[in-house]
Amino acid sequence: MITSFSPLSYRGLAGWLGLEAVRDIIKLSS
């Protein structure tokens, strides 16, 4: 059960997903 929400961890997850997406785009464009 989640008792608290951490914006920083959410930003970290979003940043990681964004980085993965950028890497996928680079692989597709190359």
Non-local CB neighbours of 3 within 8 Å, separated by 6+ positions: none
DSSP 16: H
Instruction: Name the residue with higher pLDDT: 5 or 19.
Output: 19
**What is this structure's pTM?**
0.48
State the pLDDT at residue 25: 93
pLDDT of 19 higher than 70: yes
State the pLDDT at residue 4: 67
C-alpha span between 6 and 17 (Å, rounded)? 17
